[in-house]
Amino acid sequence: QVQLVESGGGLVQDGGSLRLSCTASSGIFYSMAWYRQAPGKQREMVATMTSDGNADYADSVKGRFTVSRDYAKKSVYLQMNSLKSEDTAVYYCFAKTIVSMKEYWGQGTQVTVSS
């Protein structure tokens, strides 16, 4: 069973930065991504990167967030700059395997931006 372990969340002031990390226990992934869910809202995709290096971002984070992967470490990262209060949410790591296209989720990490 693949496990995704996230780290890097926390409390930051408006305009600050945080870097989230997620490492998988095993597996080879076609895509790894970050989603977030704010209180009372649906979970939404924040950033995703496929195995060929293509990245996609939610419009709300373009120019502020950067997703990257370390394939050897089975890890995905999210560098978040110029954070705003509306970025406050639980951030979840997501991964989809290459062969079976099975999907996995991390347990989530809280990001709180204070204004």
In one-letter notation, the amino acid at residue 57 is Y
- Give me the residue label for tokens 């089975």: 74
pLDDT per residue as tens digits for the range 17-74: 999 999 999 999 999 999 999 999 999 999 999 999 999 999 999 999 999 999 999 9
Could you tell me the two tokens for 104? 């996995």
User: Residue 115's pLDDT band (boundaries 50, 70, 90)?
Assistant: confident
CA of 96: how far to CAs of 9, 70, 114, 115, in Å?
A: 22, 15, 33, 35
Write down the residue that tokens 């951030």 correspond to: 91
Identify the sign of the CA torsion 101, 43, 82, 16. Answer: negative
